[in-house]
Each structure stands twice: as structure tokens, then as C-alpha cells.
Amino acid sequence: MIVTVTLNAAVDRTLTVPNFQRGQRHRASAGVTLAGGKGINVARALKALGVPVVATGFVGGTTGTRIVDELTQEAILNDFVRIEGESRTSTAVVDPAGSTYTEINEWGPSVKPEELEMLLEKLRYLTQDAGYVVFAGSLPRDVPTDFYAEATRELARRHVATVLDTEGEPLRLGVEAEPVLVSPNQIEAEGLVGQEFHDEEDFRLALDSIADMGARNVLITTEQGALALLREDREVRRYRASAPRLDPVSAVGAGDVLLAGFLAARHAGRSNEEALRAAVAAGAASTLEVGAGRFDPRQAGRLQGGVELQELAPVEA
């Protein structure tokens, strides 16, 4: 079982608006509404890949009820903590003509200390036989910035492997807690190491820097694929994995699917290299559909052969 944790769950609405322009009136050509939030997107992708998964986190109000209903309709096992605050709604506008997407995310609810303790208690129960626990997404209001870090340390004491995908201070503190895998996108990784990435050497330095901060394995997702620092036994290897060229429909949630593809392959006992190919192929397949976390696993399988995998030389001292 893999457990995904989404503290800031949402109802995600994705609208397709050709030739989208600010300040203009538009009519959407299509729309998709799903339960969302990064952890939920990961859970959806894991379910599609046949991996046993349960989604947990916080939901509240009528929006929270809709989130649970949507997950139940998708047959995604879930066990959320009900809170007093109202869960958020997020909107993404996809412009196929300009190959762009615009996200508008609400802040989300305020969480009380007793509600946070209820979640921790639920995690202790759900993770008794967990292969991985995935902490993904932003923190709601009034949740301490070190929540992911403290939860990671508690799970480590119980020998439960944790995966972290967030941003800002929660990411920095979480990495220091030594998760098994940290998976920021390029912008989040740049914020973590304090500089922009312009070439391969910048990425190699960033991989090593994030590993030195505490992460055992590092997976940086990019628009072209991913860069990774992965450990197998005592050996450390670095890779660039590039997706085959496609005409994307929407990139919303592609990084979440990529992470799910990697975890699913590792969960099945595949090597790091095989897992990286599977991950990038799954992320690429997700760009062909509208709706975060949605993709065709058969299409992902067909794309694996087109993933270019290059091993990177270690950073010179």
C-alpha cells in the first residue's frame, strides 16, 4: 500500500479556452472537474497503474464532501479527516492554441491544532503496512511549516519510507528530515538551492546540493522530463531523462503523474533506470489529456521506448 497525504485538497476545474487572453470574455470549449491537490493527483495515477493506494488529508464543508464523492466515484480508496473550514476550489485554464495553461489556486482552509492531531493519529493507523507515504502539495493556513519534517521524522522512527513534493520553507525543512525521495519541479528546486538553472552543470550541482541537505534520492521534474540523483546500495548515480517530443494538450499535473510512475515502478521491484523511464513516459502521456493525474497507462507504455536516458558525470570537487 502507498499512502498519499493531501493537506490542501481541492475541487479542481480545468477549462479548455482556445486563444485565452486576459481582460476578454471567453467561452470554454470543454471542462473537466476532479478531486485534486497534488497528493490526490498522485493517488489517481497510482490507481491507474494498478498500485494499491489510499488517499488521506483534510477535507471540509460542502467542497470537502464533493472531493470525497469524486474520489469514491473513481474507486480511489480514501480516508480523510473532516475539518471545520471549507476546502478550496482551484481553476486551470488550458489554451491549446498557445500551448499555455494558467492556474488560479485558493489559499485553502485554516486548520486547528486538534484537527492536525487527528490527522497524525490517522497516519499512524494507515501507515502500519505502507510501502511509501507521499506528502504532496501546499500547507493550509495555521499548519506549522515544519509539519512535513516532523511527520517524516516520526515515520522514519517506525521505518516507513517518506516521499516529499512541496515548495518553499516546508520543502527546505522537510528535506532536512531526510526523506527517501524528494521531488520538486525546476522552479521549486531553484528556490531550494537559491539560484536559477541554466545548463546541465547547474542541475548536477542542484542534485548534489539537495542530497547534501538530507534527501536520500532527488527527482527534479522539468518540462522536458526529469533529472535525478538515485542511490542503489551504496552507489550514487545521476541521470537526465528526456521525454519524446509530443504536442501537449495540458501539462497540469504532469509532475504528479511522473512521480507516481516512478513510485509504481520501484514498488514493482524495477531498477532505478527502468523506473525513471517509466516515470517520464507516464508524465508525457498525461500531457495528452485534460485533468490532473489522468493518463492512459498503455500510451505511457508505448512512450517508454522513446525516453532518452543519459547518465551524468559526478560533479567535480
Q: Which residues are catalytic?
A: 256
| Alpha-carbon distances of 133 from 3, 39, 162, rounded to whole Å | 5, 10, 5
- Decide: helix, strand or coil at residue 8: coil
Tracing cell 498525461 back to the chain, one arrives at: 286
Helical ranges in the chain per DSSP H: 38-48, 61-73, 113-126, 147-157, 168-176, 186-193, 200-213, 254-267, 272-286, 297-303
- Decide: helix, strand or coil at residue 263: helix
- Decide: helix, strand or coil at residue 168: helix
Positive or negative torsion for Cα 234, 268, 174, 106: positive
Q: Are 138 and 166 in contact (CB under 8 A)?
A: yes
Instruction: Name every residue whose Cβ is closer than 8 Å to that of residue 124 and which is 6 or more positions away in sequence.
Output: none
158, burial (CB in 10 Å: exposed 0-12, middle 13-18, buried 19+): exposed
Determine what percent of the chain falls in helix, strand and coil, rounding each to the nearest 5. 40, 25, 35
Measured in degrees and rounded to the nearest 5, phi and psi for residue 38 equal -55, -45
Cα–Cα distance measured from residue 7 to residue 312, given in angstroms and rounded to the nearest whole number: 35
Round the CA-based radius of gyration of the chain to a whole number and report it.
Answer: 19
